[in-house]
Structure 1
């Protein structure tokens, strides 16, 4: 081989050595190369249909200036190993898009125009970026990908409304704080009554509008309580997809830690942890109210619970119900199907429930307890009436502070009797008798102090 030929061959080899890496990098940087991977085909397909189809994958998936670094090369190798190691069609780990990839001067620079621009999110809702940058949940740091996510096979990425609902309605009262309707919806002057449509309606009569209802102090829940359903609870079982049970799981309710470790770092989506909150109309607007007793009866069965728990009150020691130790609840005793005075179906307590757990002799226990408590309650009410009568007679004869103290003692005793009467003392016989005794102590003290007046 001639020296000239050797030099030419050597030059060609050197050229190949120099150009092949650049050629490989160019080839592997093309979207078509990304789409050739079996786990990327559906993502590539949605990219081709998206507004970003003229922007190469590496322009977004690597931060500006990162594409040619060792970090990027190792990241590419890890993706190659994932490709070779799996025969599935899913990407195992969520991709993380750096905010700087979105906010370059050629894309969406974070200037005042971008921050304050009103974007039409839905037909009724506009969106402003700056508002959301300024107000975040404890521990969170919002990223572009916090809201803009790949969620379905039909779009490359989108802003799921479920994410909006979770942030706005989680741990907020209806139409309060970040859940206020006017943050997203415009308060209109459109008449709500049919007769006022198209400028009609009785002369001199003002139509009812959302604005007039707000001015009158009418609660939004009067008409829209069904629009928000769910509470966004943590699905702790999902933690086990990444963590082991034990110490890690015990931290699941630490909101600041969870948000900083997962949301701020862009590792997972909100609904990997939270159950969804639904915000939309439903045809049956009454069922949600009918099925949630506490909406109309916020203190329903409060006295029954007070008796069963038997918490310590002034003058009475803590005395939980006999069956609280084995965590017996209402359904253990209320087994008899019946109807109330309004014809509504209810479950009543029955002696048969006592027998089912205990012995046949317990069949009479419920009736005996009812009789005993009723007798004691009637006796206490006689003392209550006498104490109230004496206070009334002493007006003008006793000092004002003495009468005030007596009324305070009377109210305390009456409250104890109300717990027993309205909560049904059989729920905790021993505690009921103790409450009656303390009520009698209050009434007797009033009678002794005011008897001579």
Structure 2
């Protein structure tokens, strides 16, 4: 075989090989890194729409939904052969995947490792992220109903919130989940952050108020709609010179001692 022809064959062979490798890489990159590939399955339209309007809309599918080539191939074959009408359970997101961003220190993502709520629920109770953050596909903000999955008594049982104005609030409005120093039970700071914003209520909480005990000492929204004012529980022996016994027996303390000012 003349040398020029042999050289041309080698060049063509390398060209075909290179083209094949490039095409294979492009195909792999498309199927593994381009969300449009996932959308090509007609059953994914709802998931796609929700993803596009979610906080993760700039994150590729496989960044969270990790699947091996074998698993991905099985999904494609299932779609082609069986033509399913809905998306089956696949590529479940483990907590470790969420932690890559949300416990990474990357300021582009909300960091949750040090927050009080995640320390209790994720670290101590080992509740996986998707239990609270993905009760429905591609909706990551936990709805109020999610808390009721575990806290049944407090959300729809005997300890449900009794104060109507508070009943529509999300649980974490009072139980400050994302604070690093939160006790998770509402403290004075959490209560005042809202109540000082209510017209006319700011004056009820003067900075120099002598009593600064927790609001929950009187206000128990999961038990009663009205505050439990039990002054004598602490003040067992009021000063007799200014609190004659007949007055104590016939007059409520709050007649003279105005709530929140005392």
TM-score, normalised relative to structure 2: 0.54
Counterpart residue number, 1:108: 102
Counterpart residue number, 1:57: 61
Cα deviation 1:267-287 (Å, max 9, x = unaligned): xxxxxxxxxxxxxxxxxxxxx
Counterpart residue number, 2:127: 142
Counterpart residue number, 2:8: 5
The answer to whether the aligner puts 1:21 opposite 2:27 as a matched pair is: no
Residue of 85, 88, 91 corresponding to 1:92 = 88
Which structure shows the higher helix fraction?
A: 1
In 2, the alpha carbon distance for the partners of 1:28 and 1:49 equals 22
Cα–Cα, structure 1 residues 146 and 211, in superposed 2: closer, same or farther, change >3 Å? closer
Cα deviation 1:166-210 (Å, max 9, x = unaligned): 2123699738xxx9x86454564799xxxx96759xxxxx9xx96
Q: CA deviation at 1:109?
A: 1.8
Counterpart residue number, 1:130: 119
Counterpart residue number, 1:300: none
State whether residues 122 and 129 of structure 2, in contact with CA within 8 Å, keep that contact through their aligned partners in structure 1.
no
Q: CA deviation at 1:94?
A: 5.1
Residue of 15, 30, 36 corresponding to 2:40 = 36
Q: CA deviation at 1:80?
A: 0.6
State whether residues 103 and 110 of structure 1, in contact with CA within 8 Å, keep that contact through their aligned partners in structure 2.
yes
Other structure's SS at 1:40 match: helix
Cα–Cα, structure 1 residues 34 and 156, in superposed 2: closer, same or farther, change >3 Å? farther
Other structure's SS at 1:54 match: coil
Other structure's SS at 2:43 match: coil
Q: CA deviation at 1:73?
A: 0.4
Other structure's SS at 2:69 match: helix
Structure 1, unaligned runs of 5 or more: 63-70, 118-126, 201-205, 225-453
Cα deviation 1:93-119 (Å, max 9, x = unaligned): 154112222222xx21267x63234xx
Which structure shows the higher strand fraction?
A: 1
Q: CA deviation at 1:52?
A: 1.8
Counterpart residue number, 2:68: 72
In 2, the alpha carbon distance for the partners of 1:184 and 1:14 equals 65
In 2, the alpha carbon distance for the partners of 1:220 and 1:103 equals 34
Corresponding pairs, count: 180
Cα deviation 1:295-336 (Å, max 9, x = unaligned): xxxxxxxxxxxxxxxxxxxxxxxxxxxxxxxxxxxxxxxxxx
In 2, the alpha carbon distance for the partners of 1:57 and 1:44 equals 10
> Which is higher, the Rg of structure 1 or of structure 2?
1
In 1, the alpha carbon distance for the partners of 2:99 and 2:22 equals 33
In 2, the alpha carbon distance for the partners of 1:197 and 1:18 equals 71
In 2, the alpha carbon distance for the partners of 1:36 and 1:173 equals 48
In 2, the alpha carbon distance for the partners of 1:219 and 1:25 equals 56
Q: CA deviation at 1:77?
A: 1.0
State whether residues 115 and 128 of structure 1, in contact with CA within 8 Å, keep that contact through their aligned partners in structure 2.
no
Counterpart residue number, 2:260: none
Cα–Cα, structure 1 residues 184 and 33, in superposed 2: closer, same or farther, change >3 Å? farther
Cα–Cα, structure 1 residues 95 and 7, in superposed 2: closer, same or farther, change >3 Å? closer
Q: Within 5 A, what are the aligned runs for 1:177-326? A: 183=184, 185-186=186-187, 188=191, 211=216, 213=218, 220-223=222-225
Q: Structure with the greater relative contact order (CA < 8 A, sep ≥ 6): 1 or 2?
A: 2
TM-score, normalised relative to structure 1: 0.34
In 1, the alpha carbon distance for the partners of 2:203 and 2:15 equals 86
Cα–Cα, structure 1 residues 109 and 221, in superposed 2: closer, same or farther, change >3 Å? closer
In 1, the alpha carbon distance for the partners of 2:77 and 2:20 equals 24
Q: CA deviation at 1:20?
A: 2.7
Cα–Cα, structure 1 residues 161 and 95, in superposed 2: closer, same or farther, change >3 Å? farther
State whether residues 93 and 130 of structure 2, in contact with CA within 8 Å, keep that contact through their aligned partners in structure 1.
yes
State whether residues 95 and 128 of structure 2, in contact with CA within 8 Å, keep that contact through their aligned partners in structure 1.
yes
Q: CA deviation at 1:43?
A: 1.3
